[in-house]
Structure 1
Amino acid sequence: MDDILKRLLDAELRAERLAQEAETEQERVIQEALALGKAQDEQLTLRIPELRRSYIAKAEERAEQVIAELRRRYDERHVQLREQAEQHEQAGLDAAFQVLIELDHAPQSR
């Protein structure tokens, strides 16, 4: 009977020691995870200005592309309007002269 009690006591002590080791390991893992999370948070905080600069640079690049495209369209439209104006210039002058001639030949009332 003493032998059985001794073995049970030894088993209980081993179980307590294993439980204590598991708790110690759990605490170590938790502290390691917290430290890793803090380090990653600090890295992200340090990268925020770099990320902001990158975002702004990309936004400026896109804005410049849009501006260039709008200028190209504006220039194309300007050329089209200039060509249309030149095409209709003679007809406009002819119509204006016709009106002046008709006014000159119209009977004047007194």
Structure 2
Amino acid sequence: MFKRLLPVLPVVDLEAEVGFYSALGFTAEITYSGFTSLRCGPVLFGVRKPQSSEYHVPPWDLAWQIEVVDVHAVHDLALRRGLSVLKGPQAHPAGFWTVQLRTPNGYLLTLEGPPPAPGPR
């Protein structure tokens, strides 16, 4: 019955948010007045400018997480691209690893993935 989830995040500065995700490897698929869809592999979502200035960006209670193959590689890429890294790679009590970034529009983006392979990093 259901095929996929396609969230759309409200943003004030559309171009800055698209640039942020482009720096992480996402590409813009569809763009039209005030909206852009972003894709990286199977991950697809949209960003749009809200119609009302009364809408809070980001929404107070939104948790935004994306699963990745290698948390350390994403962290290294974010640093090389000059993105806002809030927390570097760290183990989560549930057994996976996370890194946290802040997007230009204020979203807290948590990237989570498997523990690193044993050996030197």
Normalising by structure 2, we get a TM-score of 0.15
**Is the strand fraction higher in 1 or 2?**
2
Normalising by structure 1, we get a TM-score of 0.16
Higher relative contact order (CA 8 A, sep 6+): 2
**Is the helix fraction higher in 1 or 2?**
1
Larger C-alpha radius of gyration, 1 or 2? 1
